[in-house]
Each structure stands twice: as structure tokens, then as C-alpha cells.
Structure 1
Amino acid sequence: MKRDAIISWTLVVAAVALSGVVYSMLVYGGRPVIGAIFSLFIGMPLIAFERRVALPRFHAWLHGLSTPAFLLLSMIAYYILILAGYIAGGTVLNLVGAISEPWKEIFILPWNVVIYTFVVTGTITFILRVRELLGRDIFTNLLLGRYRKPVQEERVFLFIDLVGSTSFAEKHGDLRTQQFLAALFTALAEPVRRYRGAIDDYIGDAVIITWPLERGIKHARCVNCVFEIIEQIEGNSGKWIAKFGQMPRLRAALHGGEIITAEIGVDHHKIAYFGDTVNTTARLESLCRSLERPVLISEELAQRLTLPPTINADYLGEHALRGRGQKIGVMALTRVRESAANLLQARIVGQPAE
């Protein structure tokens, strides 16, 4: 589990336990430890379910229902989870001698506990969903007001575009195309989280991903993210073909440099990025088509990071980009075949390849 996930779950566990302490002090006037333990038994299964950690298939099925059926079955599922947690917590505490209530009371769930649990877990889930909707970095920065005034900083940008989306739409229609894009963007999400990036925006069939420069170039996160996305799609080619009749083909471009970051908007707030770096990345992605290379990186960014042994960089010279006066050095990135990667790694560490 990555550091960010550990921190996130630690905060959630602490919030749930604290809510139990508060409830115990308000209702019983004491026993904060008992309240915290009960709260964890009752609340964490709900949080885990909402975060798709527990029962992910049932969660997906539930969210695919019509609204009336979803609401009814959700309430039933939540009640069962709360009851199961209440019984489990009471049983454990009774067995260790922490409480001495009659066993029959352990199996009777008070309605004030149900209501309080719904309020607490609902609030936590709402915050997590807003954070997920906006993105971890954007959510935090909006709360802190970091970009209320424009800030000059360095960032890495990754533009990913779906190849052939127009022809797919002509063949299958707009609804099917939207489903195809939704599945693709869902597939992108986990590699982006794993490599600590943030999805800034979706523009038609393209997605913009960004990192603070130091975070993005450390361990070549921005490059590894691209190829993990491609590898994940290729690894599930059978599912893509079975569901949509084809596998997504992507074009991607990486560039980094100075930009201006600012919070804009009145009714709808957004953190926006301004500057030549963003435009250059977009133009570089367009260059993928004419150069017939799926993944490009600016020479400037490539020189600031260390590529992993599994990635090969091919220098393509300097190219003029539309709307940009100066030419830019361009490199094409490709994956090294496994046997070649093992040989290269063996040469680096001075050991024979397997």
C-alpha cells in the first residue's frame, strides 16, 4: 500500500474512532475507549464498502440499478453492515470482559446508533467522494487556498489522447463512444494514483495529467505512469475486444517546465494552469501523429530524469511546433523487450542475465 493510501486510511480510521468517543461521552458520559472500538466495528465496514474495498462486485452491481432500487437496496445493505458490525463489536467486547451487557441486547441494534452511524459515515464518504471527484491535490489546495493568488511553479504535464475515437463514434454511435471513453478513463485512474499524479481535466477523448516537477521526475514516475497505463490496457485486451470490439490505442506526450497556477471561477472554482508549458505539451501530443510515434517526451524533460532500464529513448531531432517560435528537441519512448531489458539490467549491476 502506498504512502498516500496509508495516510488516507489512517485519517479515516481516526475520524471514525473519534466519532465513537464523542458518541460515548454524549450518551453515556464516559467509556471513550469502548465507544471508539464500537465505532470502528460499526463504521469501517460501511467506509470499506463505499470505497469499493469490501464487496466491490456487489457495489458495482448496486450502482448500476435504477435510482429507486438503488436507494432501497442500499439502505438494506447499509443496515445489515451496521448490524453485523454492532454484533461483532459487542461480542468481542463481551468476551474480553470490557462490557457486561446481556447477550440479547448485543443483537438488538438501537436506532440512535443507526442514525448516528449514517451521519458519520455519510459525512466521511461525502468528503472522500468530493476529494475523489476533484483530485487529491486539487481538493487539498482548494481547502488550503494555496492558489487564491497566482503562483509560479514547475510542473510535468502528460497529455493522453485516444486514437480513432471519431471513427469509433461513426461506427457505434455517441452513447457507445461515451461508454468506451468512460471505461478508458477508469483504467487510467489507478496508474495515475499509484504514481502520485493528478488528473487535471478531460477534454473530449483526451485527458490531462500533471505532477509537481520534482514529484513527477522522481523515479521517472511520469514515464512509468504512461507505460503502466499502456501495459494495463494491453494486458486486458481480451476484455476490451469482447466488450467494445477493439482495444484502445493511445497517443501520449510528456513535457515540463514553469507555469502559473491560479484558482479561478466564482460559482465553479477550478485550479487552472497557464503558460507555454501546457501549450507545448498539447502541440507535442499532436506531433505523435505526424511522427507516427505513440509516446513522445521533450528532450528538456528527458534530461531532467533517469529513465528506467525497461524504457528506450530514441532522439528524433528538433521540431517546430504550431504556435511556438522555437523548435523543441523530441524523443520517442518505447518499451524494451523483456530479454533485452534483463540483459541491460545485468550489464548495469555487473551480473549475468538470466
Structure 2
Amino acid sequence: MKRSIQQYLKLLWQSVLFWSIAMAMYSIFRYYGIDEEEGFTVIREYSGIQGTLRALLGFGTIGALLGILYATIDFVFDKYVANRILLFYDVLCRTFLYFITSVIVFTIIMNIFSELYGINLDTQPGWWQHNKSFWATILYMVLVSFVFTFINIAKEKFGKGVFLKMLMGKYRTPQEEKRIFMFLDLKDSTTIAENLGHFKYSQFIQDCFYDLNEVVPKYDAEIYQYVGDEAVLSWSYKKGLANNNCVDLFFAFQQKKQRKSQYYMDKYGVVPEFKAGLHGGKLMVTEVGVIKKEIAYHGDVINTSARIQAQCNKHKVRFLISEKLLQDLKIKTHLTTEFLGSVLLKGKQEEVKIHTINKVG
């Protein structure tokens, strides 16, 4: 519950900030200097700096209210609706609610400003149908909403903070960073795929990764890539260590699957189990590609993480971590660790000490 509230508040402030600025900018485009344009006659209430400030206040207030309501709609849909209906119907329903919300907010603010400043604004039922200024504003809102959506998609694609760095050209030349990587792989995937068939198996993986995506933001993780039935997660070293995010995410994902075990059994006849390998250190990050740009990580850290995960079957455990990373973590009392020995991983000349981590109870 606490995590959900934090997610909502984060979405809320971003939405309120964006729409307040967007609508305030619209008022400037629409009204600033309009009384100085040749051929225009402007009533006193809308002229001069005073009229511009009124418009700025009015549209800024509209933007703030729209930000609150839009964020609430998005939060509810993302949490309870998005995975239950087709994307087309999701977009259709959201657009309809956005429009109704916009009409209501504009009507309320226009009524308030009519009373405050004695401006005769038409707010009778259906006023918006033939109001050209309203439709011009809606067109502007549609255009800026594409910008907002683009920013969110880019953030989801490249990870928080990475998109801005790409815009600034930071990764055009390789940069050294210290990061943590987790390789998550579905256990017994071949057997499950044979039993379910390729179509139902694809749905099965889709459900698993949907559950993973609900957990990932709560632990400040980034999804680097999906490879078949495997997901690669990443953290900056500082964020991964904070509150044991890189470890607690795995157990939170396990709990999520356990809570939905009946759903998986009813639909697929099997409850998914994942195994994970965790390691961290310095590596290079750079922008690659021309037709399709991506952020790529190069270095021993990512290879070692994958090799550690591959040792899970051999040691019959679900979660392995390198000793080097474990030493930097502060393991909580609800977790226990066990040293499993030193292993010579494929492609490495030196042995790597590995541990398993389990949850108490």
C-alpha cells in the first residue's frame, strides 16, 4: 500500500508540474501582447499586463487541476485496467475520460473567474460544443500530451535519467559507470514450453513479465532487456545498494508470484519460478546503432552476472550473488546468506566466490 501511494504521488507531481507549465505557456501564447496586434480589438479585462496575469492564473489553475485528475485516471488504469483490456480500448476509455474531465474543469474555472472579475463567460450546458477557443485549446492539449507521452515512453525505454543524458550526448563516447546487474531466468522453461505450446507459453511469459514490471519501479531498478524467458535488470551502484534494493526486488517478485499462484495454476497449470544471478562493478556504457539507437553495456560485470545465474541449477538454489557485491550490502535480519564456494566461471581466469541468499520464514 505504501509503495502504491509513493507511485501515485510521483505520478501526481510530474503530471501537475507538466500541465501547469503547459497551460501557463498556452495563456502566454494566446494573450500576451494581443492588445498590441494591429486589427485586434481587445476588451479591457483581457488587455495589458493585468489581463495576461489573469489568463496566466486561470490557465495555470486549469493545468494544475487537469494534472491531478489525469494522474488519477492514469494511476487507476495502469494499476487495475491496463492488463485486462486491449490497448485500443484502454486508449479510447482514457481519452474519453480526459475529455470529460477537461470540459468539467474548464466549466468550473470559467464560472469562478466570471464571478471574480465580472467577465461574461458562457458556461451554460453544452457551451463547449460551439466554442472555437475551447477546441483550439483542446488541440493544443492534444499536441502537448504527445510530448508528455513521448517523454514517458523514452524514460521507460532507456531508464530514468538515461534519456536526458542521451539528449545531452553523454553516451556518444563510451563512459565508465559502476552498476549492478541481475539476470532473471525462468526455471524449467523448456519443459513448461513443451507442455503449454508456443501460444500459451508466450502468454505465460507475458504474465510473468507483467508481474515483474509492477515490482521493478518500487526498487528503483531499470529493465535493460528481455531475452526470451530471461530479463536483465540494472541499477546504478548507489541505488542498488540503497535499502538492499537489488536483493529485496527478487524476494518481492517471488511474493508477487506466490500471491498469484492460484491464477497461474488455473490458467497454466504451473506456478513460475525464477532463478537469479547478481553482481556489480565498473563497466562501459555507450550509445550504439543508427537506425535503432540503444544504450549498450560492455564489460566483465554483465558477463559475470550471467555466468553466476547459470550456476543456480548446479547448486540447486534460486538466488546467487558474488561475494564482492555481498560485502558492500547490509544484509537485513530477515535474510540469511550461505557461502557456496569459489567457482571458475566460463571465460574467466580467476575463480569467483559466490553466496546464496534466502529469506527467513
- Per the TM superposition, whether the score is higher than 0.5 is yes
1:18-37 to 2 correspondence within 5 Å?
18-29=21-32, 30=52, 31=54, 32-37=56-61
Structure 2 residue 82 is matched with structure 1 residue 79: no
How far apart in 1 are the matches of 2:93 and 2:255? 37
**Aligned residue among 165, 172, 189 for 1:141:** 165
Distance 1:72 1:12, change over 3 A: closer
Following superposition, the deviation at residue 144 of structure 1 comes to: 2.7
* Contact persistence 2:111–2:123 (CA under 8 A): no
1:52 aligns with 2:75: yes
Aligned to 1:108: 127
Q: 1:73 to 1:155 in 2, by over 3 A?
A: closer
Output the amino acid matched with 1:195.
Y
After superposition, the C-alpha distances for 1:59-79 in whole angstroms (9 at most, x for unaligned) are 555x516x5x67766654443
Q: Which ranges in structure 2 are unaligned for 5 or more consecutive residues?
A: 33-51, 129-133
Q: Name which of structure 1's ranges 288-297 and 114-123 shifts more when overlaid on structure 2.
A: 114-123
For residue 207 of structure 1, report the CA deviation from its aligned partner. 0.6
Which of 86, 90, 95 is equivalent to 1:64? Answer: 86
Deviations 1:134-176 (CA, angstroms, capped at 9, x unpaired): 3224323322322221122221111100112222221222222
1:270 to 294, 311, 333: 294
The alignment's TM-score, normalised by the length of structure 2, stands at: 0.82
- Aligned residue for 1:21, secondary structure, equals helix
Which whole-Å deviations, capped at 9, do the CAs of 1:229-267 have from their partners, x for residues lacking one?
A: 111111221222223222110101111112111111111
Contact 1:38 1:90 in 2 (8 A): no
Which residue of 128, 144, 148 corresponds with 1:120?
144
Aligned-residue Cα RMSD (Å) equals: 2.7
Map residues 34-45 of structure 1 onto 2, 5 A cutoff: 34-42=58-66, 44-45=68-69
What is the distance in 2 between the residues matched to 1:57 and 1:117?
Answer: 26
User: Contact 1:42 / 1:83 at 8 angstroms: preserved in 2?
Assistant: no
Which residue identity is paired with 2:30? Answer: V
Q: Deviations over 1:23-62 (max 9, x none)?
A: 223334412111111233345534543x33458545555x
- Cα–Cα, structure 1 residues 235 and 143, in superposed 2: closer, same or farther, change >3 Å? same
Give the SS at the match of 2:171: coil
2:217 aligned with 1:217: no
Gaps spanning 5+ residues in structure 1: where? Answer: 338-354
Alignment of 1:1-354 (within 5 A): 9-29=12-32, 30=52, 31=54, 32-42=56-66, 44-49=68-73, 51-53=74-76, 57-60=80-83, 64=86, 67=88, 75-91=95-111, 93=113, 97=116, 100-102=119-121, 104-105=123-124, 108-109=127-128, 110-337=134-361
Alpha carbons of 1:125 and 1:272: their partners in 2 closer, same or farther (altered >3 Å)? same
Letter in 2 for 1:196: D
Give the TM-score normalised by the residue count of structure 1: 0.84
Which moves more between the two structures, 109-118 or 83-92? 83-92
- Alignment match, 2:40: none
- Letter in structure 1 aligned against 2:23: G
CA drift of 1:199 comes to 0.7
Q: How far did residue 120 of structure 1 move?
A: 2.0
Q: Whose radius of gyration is greater, 1 or 2? A: 2
Report if the CA contact (8 A) 1:187-1:229 is conserved.
yes
